[in-house]
Amino acid sequence: MQKIVVNETGGADQLHLVDFELGAPGAGEAQIKHTAIGLNFIDVYFRTGLYPAETPFTPGMEAAGIVEQVGEGVTNVKPGDRVVYCGAMGSYSTHRNIPADKLVPLPDGVSDDVAAASLLKGLTAHYLLFLTYQLKKGDAMFVQAAAGGVGSILCQWGKHLGGYVIGAVGSEEKMALAEANNCDVVINSSKDGFVEKVREATNGKGVRVVYDSLGKDTFERGLDCLQPHGLMVSYGNATGPVSIPDLGILARKGSLHVVRPMLGAYTSTYEELTNNAKALFDVIQNGVVKVNIGQKFALKDIAKAHNALENRETTGSTIILP
């Protein structure tokens, strides 16, 4: 058995592959053999120390696999079941024990690779579109990183719900991908100012909701893309964390709303987790959302995967094969 360990937070060179032995699962736990691990930007935040974790730790929040053993009292899964989970640190490993109430059984129509590429990102897209704000038919929405992991799913699902989807990407090459994610308008923000382009695309009106995963560099300009009473959903910090020293900025820019949501708050019960996952698997199985796995890395090459994600070289989702 192998896992990645971070002894000190820092660069991607802090991700070390080690051998280890795993005991039997405890009461309420299941032992999983991972088949595919999801790479997420939150893994970078923990590795760098932006989000605190006690060292040493094994990063990774998401994986699919097969249940090998279950501990006392586990009834929701059994050995041989295909499962997926997210939001439980320690997925950068070949095997692990995990509380069984984190595990979602996988339907036949969803492969392990697709599950690991989509559960965390797709549950995020789900709560952004249905729970943080209930997107309505005709609502204009603006999505940063529209060719990335969360962005790809968010744009496709938002369009299916009747949204007018404006997506921004960081390079010419990513524009076609954002178009394939069903964006109505795609902006190359390395070339064009996105505020002007969003205003242009909405006849000067602005959008009902901005989904900003970039944080520090784009937050304030994102407010300028909103119509009066519009909603800024700041759900990530790829360029650094956001702070608003003066709430008056929201008044001056049109009585705006801001929310800083986290997935965990929308999947805190097993019922919420499995219901929301079912909604996601449904749109994947009926073809509304196509999960684009842009790249795969071996577990031993995890540092390369982190560097690619941080250097904006990935597209769609990335999976790690143990």
Ligand X SMILES: NC(=O)c1ccc[n+]([C@@H]2O[C@H](COP(=O)([O-])OP(=O)(O)OC[C@H]3O[C@@H](n4cnc5c(N)ncnc54)[C@H](OP(=O)(O)O)[C@@H]3O)[C@@H](O)[C@H]2O)c1
Binding site for ligand X (CB under 6 A): 40-42, 120-121, 124, 145, 147-151, 169-171, 174, 213-214, 235-239, 261-263, 309-310, 312, 314
What amino acid occupies position 156?
Q
* Beta carbons of 40 and 121 less than 8 angstroms apart: yes
Q: Of the two residues 59 and 148, which places its CB atom closer to ligand X in the complex?
A: 148
Distance in Å, CB of 11 to ligand X, minimum: 14
Distance in Å, CB of 264 to ligand X, minimum: 7
Distance in Å, CB of 282 to ligand X, minimum: 20
Distance in Å, CB of 167 to ligand X, minimum: 9
Q: Of the two residues 31 and 213, which places its CB atom closer to ligand X in the complex?
A: 213
Return the beta strands (E) in the chain as ranges. 2-5, 16-19, 29-39, 62-70, 82-86, 95-99, 104-105, 140-143, 164-169, 185-188, 207-212, 226-234, 257-259, 293-298, 317-321
Q: Of the two residues 74 and 123, which places its CB atom closer to ligand X in the complex?
A: 123
Q: Of the two residues 67 and 175, which places its CB atom closer to ligand X in the complex?
A: 175
Q: How far apart are CA 91 and CA 160, in angstroms?
A: 32
Quick one: tokens of 249? 């900025």
Indicate if the alpha-carbon torsion angle 186, 192, 195, 201 is positive or negative: negative
Looking up tokens 């800083």 gives 260
Q: Of the two residues 67 and 143, which places its CB atom closer to ligand X in the complex?
A: 143
Q: Of the two residues 36 and 77, which places its CB atom closer to ligand X in the complex?
A: 36
Distance in Å, CB of 281 to ligand X, minimum: 18
Q: Of the two residues 74 and 299, which places its CB atom closer to ligand X in the complex?
A: 299
Q: Of the two residues 74 and 154, which places its CB atom closer to ligand X in the complex?
A: 154
Q: How many residues does the chain have?
A: 322
Q: Of the two residues 10 and 162, which places its CB atom closer to ligand X in the complex?
A: 10
Name, in order, each residue with C-beta under 8 angstroms of 133's C-beta and a sequence gap of 6 or more.
209, 231, 233, 259
Distance in Å, CB of 28 to ligand X, minimum: 25
Distance in Å, CB of 278 to ligand X, minimum: 19
Q: How far apart are CA 322 and CA 316, in angstroms?
A: 20
The helix (H) or strand (E) run that includes residue 161 is: none
* Beta carbons of 227 and 205 less than 8 angstroms apart: yes
Alpha helices in 132-254 (DSSP H): 149-160, 175-180, 194-201, 219-223, 248-252
Distance in Å, CB of 216 to ligand X, minimum: 9
Straight-line distance from the first to the last Cα atom of the chain, in angstroms, rounded to the nearest whole number: 10
Distance in Å, CB of 153 to ligand X, minimum: 9
* Beta carbons of 126 and 37 less than 8 angstroms apart: no
Name, in order, each residue with C-beta under 8 angstroms of 252's C-beta and a sequence gap of 6 or more.
none
